[in-house]
Amino acid sequence: MPTLHQFIDESITGAVTEPVKLSEPVPVEQLPTPALIIDLNLFDQNLTKMHHFLDPRGIGLRCHTKMHKCPVIAHKQMAAGAVGVCTATVSEAEIMQVSGIADILITSAVVTPEKIDRVLKLARTNPKLQIVVDNIEVANRFNEAASESNLELGVLIDLDPGMGRTGIEAGGPALVLARHLANECNNLRFDGLQMYAGDCMHLEGFENRREKYTGVMEKGAETKSLLEEAGIEVAFFTGGGTGTFNIEPDVGLMTDLQAGSYAFMDIEYREIGGEGSDRFDTFEPSLFVLVTTISKPQQRLITVDAGFKSFASDKMVPEFRDVEGVIYHWGGDEHGIIQLTNPSKEISLGDKLAMLVPHCDPTVNLYDYYYPVRDGKVEELWPIAARGRSQ
């Protein structure tokens, strides 16, 4: 009978992180539904487009894997030019590291002894691992634990962009923490700053988003200058995301961008609008849920086999990829009810149809694996190995 920590360790080392090859290709129309599918042509296009935008502008991509939770995809992002990955949790970092990725930044605060121990276990074999801290007490905990293990751990100071969620206040308080790290924490290496303005990512209207983000980042720039004037080098400044990817170059603050959703996209991001457009369509939706029509209880209604257990949404409902004139209504855990107002094509029982997801991150967390599709066929499965790794 394993201890709790043994069980966690075994679940990490035993996780399937490689593609699962199928003995023969499977046509999309034969997939069991609901199925989480990736249009590989659009997915590859999104990865290439982000790299071609950031690289000539001298900004690295530190792709946030909390969105897709899949080491296969993380490796593809690295192959496409990413400088590293982010994870929101320690357990996500454990999955990425066991899959062979070293350049990992854990972007959320870690404070408890058991999680600090898990971070240091990763650091023993991975000197590139980085964490964030936002107060002196936690910095001291990490420094003491790292000293006992004879380790040096890379640390970034997490700045509060004004959201009041995590991070230390920009300016003077951040300088005090930076000096403490530099002078009192011999086993912590100060690498730079993190400032993620999450409330800017989905702000509707490109100019509104630009104005808000630019204003928020002024505090980050001032903090960086304050530290440098005090003789403290700020080697890295990381943050930003998909919603501000084409605003950041004009700000000129970030060394690397923590974008995630660009690879898949979703309805929420589409609706925020792009530069000169009421839709954000720089990146194409590549993630879909394949559903099957299973019942027709009324003349103008048809039911699909995908409800709350297949889609996650903060505020929006799924939409069909290739059918217009219909409206999705939640029908419970396993069902969605489609209102046939003026369908652009006939929908019959047993049809399999692709639907755009409202919000990719929590939707992905409902599935065990992706079906990557090219030329209408699936040749392998991609395990969502970090699914549920919220610790």
CB 74 within 8 A of CB 67: no
Q: What is the mean pLDDT of residues 283-307?
A: 97
Tell me whether the omega of the peptide bond preceding residue 362 falls within 30 degrees of 0, making it cis.
Answer: no
What is the bridge-based pairing of β-strands 168-169 and 153-160?
Answer: parallel
Residue 388 located in a structural domain: no
Residue with tokens 């400088």: 83
Residue with tokens 């997915």: 43
Domain that holds residue 296: 4-21+282-383
Choosing from 224, 242, 268, the residue where a domain stops is: 268
Residue 389 located in a structural domain: no
Query: What pTM was estimated for this model as a whole?
Result: 0.96
3-state DSSP: the chain helix, strand, coil percent, rounded to 5? 35, 25, 40
CB 258 within 8 A of CB 196: yes
Q: What is the mean pLDDT of residues 52-80?
A: 98
Beta strands in the chain (DSSP E): 20-27, 35-39, 60-64, 84-87, 104-106, 130-133, 153-160, 168-169, 188-195, 236-239, 256-257, 287-298, 301-304, 319-320, 326-330, 336-340, 352-356, 369-374, 377-383
Residue with tokens 């994870």: 87
Residue 342 located in a structural domain: yes
Question: Can you say whether the dihedral through the CA atoms of 225, 228, 234, 235 is positive or negative?
Answer: positive
Residue 289 CB burial class (10 angstroms; 0-12, 13-18, ≥19): buried
pLDDT band of residue 6 (cuts 50, 70, 90) is confident
Same domain, 136 and 11: no
Same domain, 338 and 231: no
Same domain, 239 and 107: yes
> Residue 358 sits in a domain of what CATH number?
2.40.37.20
Same domain, 89 and 200: yes
Which of 236, 257, 263 shows the shortest CA–CA distance to 49? Answer: 263
Residue 276 located in a structural domain: no
Whether 4 has a pLDDT exceeding 80, the answer reads no
Residue 299 located in a structural domain: yes
Residue 34 located in a structural domain: no
Q: What is the mean pLDDT of residues 241-251?
A: 96
Which of 202, 193, 203 shows the shortest CA–CA distance to 167? Answer: 193
pLDDT value of residue 112: 96
Same domain, 204 and 110: yes
pLDDT band of residue 1 (cuts 50, 70, 90) is confident
DSSP 8-state class, residue 292 = E
Same domain, 94 and 137: yes
Same domain, 254 and 148: yes
Residue 275 located in a structural domain: no
Total count of domains within the chain: 2
Q: With the CA atoms of 375, 377, 381 and 382 taken in that order, what torsion angle do they form, in degrees rounded to the nearest 10?
A: 20
Choosing from 237, 268, 299, the residue where a domain stops is: 268
> Residue 175 sits in a domain of what CATH number?
3.20.20.10
Choosing from 244, 268, 292, the residue where a domain stops is: 268
Query: 31-51 pLDDT, tens per residue?
Result: 999 999 999 999 999 999 999
Which of 386, 358, 389 shows the shortest CA–CA distance to 370? Answer: 386
Same domain, 106 and 158: yes
Same domain, 309 and 238: no
The 10 Å CB-count burial string (b at 16+, else e) for 310-348 is bbbbeebebbbeebeebebeebeeebbbbebeebeeebe
Residue 188 located in a structural domain: yes
What is the C-alpha to C-alpha distance for residues 38 and 287, in angstroms, rounded to an integer?
A: 5
Same domain, 55 and 178: yes
Q: What is the mean pLDDT of residues 13-22?
A: 93
Which of 261, 259, 234, 239 shows the shortest CA–CA distance to 251? Answer: 239
pLDDT band of residue 11 (cuts 50, 70, 90) is confident
Q: What is the mean pLDDT of residues 69-94?
A: 98
Same domain, 147 and 121: yes
Which of 175, 183, 169, 133 shows the shortest CA–CA distance to 154? Answer: 133
Same domain, 264 and 287: no
Q: CB neighbours of 82 closer than 8 A, spacing ≥ 6?
A: 51, 60, 61, 62, 63
